[in-house]
């Protein structure tokens, strides 16, 4: 009897979700195989930057829970990605007890393996309660990514009552408004190249 897995999300979708949570103190987790964690963090960072170049993000790679507390105290980045693949029950237990020291004004995502996350869920009930519904499994590519991209593009078309062609045309003409949604739209269409001084 296997428990249902957490939903999958591409780095692009998680970046979008993170942007939506901007301005709040939020904790999430992104689960991947150990060998994919570096790629997941790299993609997440890239996607976030593509959505908003002004975003301040930091990646920390602590070896222990104690080190994470010190690393967090030393960063003021709005988005913090924590490579937590080395964390075991002992680390999660310590972070659970010292939950107050993890307070961070922004979005903090723990990127770790499925087994390490299982240990978190067993050893750190307080920390787990902070994660709420922000836990996703990394997918490199494929249907999940496409579905998320199409879902967001649909939302943007409805929001602006415009087509993709309208947006590309406006960006080429330099008449595209500077709202971040339009920049996001171009990125999702694969036309981030139009985000120059004219179109950004």
Partner 1 sequence: MSDFYVEIPGSVSSRIAAELALAPKSTHLLIGGIGSGKTTQLLATQRLVSQIHDVHALYIDVSKQHDIAKMVPGVVVVQVGMALARALDAVPHVKSFARRLREIADGYFAPWEPNYEDYDHEPGDMVPGILVSPEQIAASVQQALQPLEGLLGVLRSQSAHLVVMLDGLDRMTDMQAFEQIVIHDVQALAGVGVGVVLVGPLRALYGLDRTVTERFTSFHYQSWIDVRNISSGRMFLTDVLRKRLPADAFSDPGIGEIVLASGGVLRDLLTLAQSACVEAYLDGADRVEIAEVVAAIDTFGRKHLQGLRLAELDVLQRVRTKGSFVHTSEDDLALLMTRRVLEYRDQGHLRYAVHPTIETLLQDLAGK
Which residues in this chain contact partner 1 in the complex, by CB under 8 A? 1, 3-7, 13, 16-17, 20-21, 24, 26, 29, 93-94, 96-101, 117-122, 125-126, 128-136, 148, 151-152, 154-156, 158-159
In angstroms, give the least distance from the CB of 47 to partner 1: 14
Q: Which is nearer to partner 1, 34 or 122 (CB)?
A: 122
Nearer to partner 1, 24 or 193 (CB): 24
User: Hey, how many other C-beta atoms are within 10 angstroms of the C-beta on 97?
Assistant: 13
**Shortest Cβ 41–partner 1 spacing (Å):** 20
Please state the closest distance from residue 174 (CB atom) to partner 1, in A: 26
* Cβ-proximal residues to 183 (8 Å cutoff; 6+ apart), any chain: 51, 52, 195, 199, 200
Give me the least distance between CB of 151 and partner 1, in Å please. 6
Cβ-based nearer residue to partner 1, 132 or 196: 132
How far is the C-alpha of 108 from the C-alpha of 154, rounded, in Å? 28
Nearer to partner 1, 26 or 44 (CB): 26
Helices (H), the chain: 11-20, 37-51, 65-73, 89-97, 114-123, 125-131, 143-160, 164-173, 180-188
71 CB-contact burial (10 Å; exposed 0-12 / middle 13-18 / buried 19+): middle
Tell me the DSSP string of 162-195. Answer: --HHHHHHHHHHT-----HHHHHHHHHTT-GGG-
For partner 1, give the closer residue by CB, 63 or 159. Answer: 159
Min CB(109)–partner 1 separation in Å: 14
């Amino acid at each position: 009897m296997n428990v249902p897995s957490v939903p999958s999300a591409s780095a692009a979708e998680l970046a979008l979700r993170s942007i939506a949570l901007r301005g709040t103190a939020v904790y999430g987790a992104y689960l991947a195989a150990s060998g994919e964690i570096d790629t997941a963090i790299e993609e997440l960072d890239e996607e976030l930057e593509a959505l908003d170049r002004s975003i301040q993000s930091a990646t920390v790679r602590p070896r222990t829970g104690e080190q994470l507390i010190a690393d967090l105290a030393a960063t003021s980045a709005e988005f913090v990605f924590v490579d937590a693949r080395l964390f075991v029950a002992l680390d999660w237990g310590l972070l659970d007890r010292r939950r107050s020291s993890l307070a961070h004004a922004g979005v903090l995502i723990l990127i770790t393996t499925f087994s390490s996350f299982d240990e978190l869920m067993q050893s750190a009930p307080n920390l787990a309660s902070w994660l709420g519904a922000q836990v996703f499994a990394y997918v490199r590519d494929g249907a999940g990514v496409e579905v998320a991209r199409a879902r967001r593009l649909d939302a943007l078309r409805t929001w602006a009552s415009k087509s993709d062609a309208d947006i590309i045309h406006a960006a080429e003409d330099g008449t595209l408004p500077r709202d971040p949604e339009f920049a996001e739209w171009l990125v999702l269409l694969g036309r981030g190249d139009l985000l120059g001084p004219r179109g950004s």
